[in-house]
Structure 1
C-alpha cells in the first residue's frame, strides 16, 4: 500500500513539473567596518534649515518620499531573494522528477527480469532449482548444477536487493520533491506579498510627486542633492578615506567598467539588465561580467561576501547601505560610487557617504 502511495505521489510530482514556469555565492566576517559620521538614514536624514514655508513643505515631502522608497527597497530585496529561491527550487524539482522517472523505469525493468526468472522456474516443472538438482542421478551434472545454482541464487538475491533499493530511492525522491514543492509555493507567496508591498510604496510616492508642479519637482530634486552633498561632505570630513588607497583588482576593473557603462539607464525594481537595473541587479551583473558570481540581493551580498573595513576598501568593492542592508553601490575610488538609486532615477555616480554605510564587502577576496 505504501508503494502504491509512493508511486501515485511520484506521478503527481512528474505531472506538476510540466506546469512549472521557471523564472528568467559564505565567508567569515573581518573587522567590523567603521560607521559613517553623518546621520543620514533614509528614515530621518539631517534636515536643512529651509527659509520659507514652501521649502519646509517640500522638505517634509522629501523625507516622506525617502521613507516610502526605503520601504520599497526593502521589499524589493525580499522579492529578489524569494525569486532566486524559487528558481533553485524549481530546478531541484525538475531534477528530482527526472530521478523519479528513471527510478520508475528501473523498477519496471527489474520486475520484468524477476518475472523472467519466475517463468523459467515454472518451465522447470515448478520445482525450485535445489529440488531439481536432488533428483538427478548424474554426479557431473549435479556438480555443474550446484555452480549454476549458486550463481543464480546470487543473481536473484542481487536482483531483489536492487529492486528494494530502487523502491526506497524512489520513495525518498518523492518525499524530497514534495518538500521542495512546499517551499516553492511558500516562496511564491512571499514574492506576491513583497510585490504588493513594492507597488503600494512606489504608487504612494508617485502620487505625491505627481501632485507637485514642475518647479516644485525641480526644487525637490535640488533638496535631495543638497542633502546628499551635506552627508558626503561630513563623511569625507571625518578623514575616513585617508588610508583607503587600495587599487582595484583585474576583476574589479572589469566590474567597474560594466557598471559605469550602465550609467543613464533607468532604475527598475527586480531588473537585472540589460535595459534597466535595481541596485543589486547592477552590482551582481557587473561582477558576473567580471567572471565572479555573487548573490543577487544586497542583503545576501552583505551576509555571504567577505567583509572589509571601510578604511581598507578599494575600487570594485561593494558598499552596503542602511541598517537592513537594503541598498548597495559599487565603490569607484575617490569617495564615489556608481549605483541604481530608486524608482524614477537612473544609474548614476554619487558620493559614497551620501547614505548611511552599513559596511563593505569584497567579491574577489
Structure 2
C-alpha cells in the first residue's frame, strides 16, 4: 500500500487501468508518501494526411486544433469548442453551487419553523396550565365567601393560627405573583414565536425562489453545452475528450514543474484516511448536479459526503467550504484536504496524496482521479480544525 502509483505513460488506457486498481485495492499514499502522478496524455488516434496524429501535440507542446468538421461548428476549431463547452459547464457549476446553497438554507429554515411550532405548542399548553392555577385560586376565594385571605387572617383569634396563616398567605401571594409573571412571559414568548415564524417563512420562500432561478440557470448552461457537443461527429467527440485530457495534463505538468511536491509531505489523519477511502470508492459513478449520492454526486456533494463518512459535517457547497473552513498553504496540504478551484470557487476536489485528487468533474463525466494541479487552484481548506 506504500508503493508509488505512477500514472505516467502515453496511453489513456494506462490511466483507466490505474483508476481500476485504486477502486479495487483502496488508497495508497494516505500516509503522506507518493501516490499519483499527473494524468497522462491521451493515446494517439488515427494519422492525418499530413502525418500528425489527431491526439498529438505540436512541437511547442500546444494541443493540435485541426478542425475535423468546421461546418457543424461554424468554423470554430475543436479547441475553441472545448473551451466554450468548458466555460458553460463551469458556469453551470457556479449555478449548481447557488442552487445547493439555497436548498440547504431552505432546509435549515424548514427545520427552524418546525422547532418554533413545537415551542408554540408547549407555550400554549403552559398558558392553559397557568390559567387553571389562577382559576383554582379564584374558585377557592369564592368558596370562602369572597373574603380575601388577608381579611380572614386578620379576624383570626388564635395567635398560632395567625402566624401559620400569615406564612401561608405570603407563600400564596408569591405563588400568585409568579403565576401572573410566568403567564405574561409565556404570552410574550408566543408573540415572538409568531414574529420569528413569519420571518422564517419569508426567508424560506426567498430561498425557494433562489433555488428555482439557479435551477433554470444550471439547466440552461448544461443544455447549451450538450447542444454544442451534439453537433460534433463521433470522431470529433473522441478528439474533444483527448483535447480535454491534454489540457489537464499540460496544467498538471506545469504545476509539478514548480517542485511543489517536494514541499508537500503531510500525513493523513484517521478521519482524512476515511474521507479519502470514501471518495475513491465512488470512482466511476456519474456526476449529477445537486446530487449527494449514493448513486451519483456533484463536486461538493462528493466532498461533503466523504467527510460525513469520516464523522465530520462540513458545508454543502464549494463556496461555503471555502468561506467557512480553515485555509492552509499548498505546501502544508495533506490527504483529505479540499482543493477549491477557479476564482469563483465553483469546483472542489478531495486531495488524496502525491499530487492527485478525486473529484466529480461535470455533467457527462464520471467521478475520477486526476492531477491536483490540472485546474487553477484558488485555495486549500481543511475540514479538520
Distance 1:151 1:159 in 2: 12
**Normalised by the size of structure 2, how large is the TM-score?**
0.79
1:273 equivalenced with 2:288 (yes/no): no
Residue 239 of structure 1: aligned partner: 259
Rounded Cα–Cα distance in structure 2 between residues aligned with 1:299 and 1:364: 17
What is the CA-CA distance between 1:348 and the residue it aligns to? 0.4
For residues 6-57 of structure 1, the C-alpha deviation after alignment (integer angstroms, 9 at most, x for no partner) is xxxxxxxxxxxxxxxxxxxxxxxxxxxxxxxxxxxxxxxx974524474852
Q: Per-residue deviation at 1:61? A: 1.3
TM-score, length basis structure 1:
0.83
Q: Distance in 2 between matches of 1:245 and 1:207?
A: 44
Closer/same/farther in 2, CA of residues 51 and 211 from structure 1, 3 Å limit: closer
Deviation at residue 240 of structure 1 after TM alignment: 2.2
Matches within 5 A, 1:1-365: 48=63, 50-52=65-67, 54=69, 56-365=76-385
Q: Which residue of 2 aligns with 1:27?
A: none
Question: Which residue does the alignment assign to 2:15?
Answer: none
Residues 346, 136 of structure 1: CA spacing in aligned structure 2 closer, same or farther, 3 A cutoff? same
Structure 1 pair 215/305, CA: closer, same or farther in 2 (3 Å)? Answer: same
- Unaligned runs of 5+ residues in structure 2 are 1-60, 71-75
Whole-angstrom distance in 1 between the partners of 2:140 and 2:87 = 79
Q: Which moved more, 1:99-108 or 1:86-95?
A: 86-95
Per-residue deviation, 1:66: 0.9
Contact 2:68 2:236 (8 Å CA) reproduced: no
Q: Residue 241 of structure 1 aligns to a residue in which SS?
A: helix
Q: Secondary structure at the match of 1:183?
A: helix
Render the CA deviation track for 1:239-265: whole Å, top value 9, x for unaligned: 222211222222211111111110000
Q: CA deviation at 1:143?
A: 3.5
1:78 to partner: Cα distance: 0.8
SS in structure 1 of the partner of residue 370 of structure 2: strand
Could you tell me which runs of 5 or more consecutive residues in structure 1 were left unpaired when the two chains were aligned: 1-45
The CA deviation string for residues 121-166 of structure 1, in whole angstroms up to 9 with x for no partner, is 1222222222233344444444433232222111111111111111
The answer to whether the 8 Å contact 2:356/2:371 transfers is: yes
Partner SS for 1:360: strand
Indicate if the aligned counterparts of 2:65 and 2:78 stay in contact, CA closer than 8 A.
Answer: no
Question: Size of the alignment, in residue pairs?
Answer: 320
In structure 2, what is the equivalent of residue 41 of structure 1? Answer: none
| Residue range with higher mean Cα deviation, 98-107 or 226-235 | 226-235
How far is 1:115 from its partner? Answer: 1.1
What CA distance in whole angstroms lies between the structure 2 residues aligned with 1:52 and 1:108?
A: 80
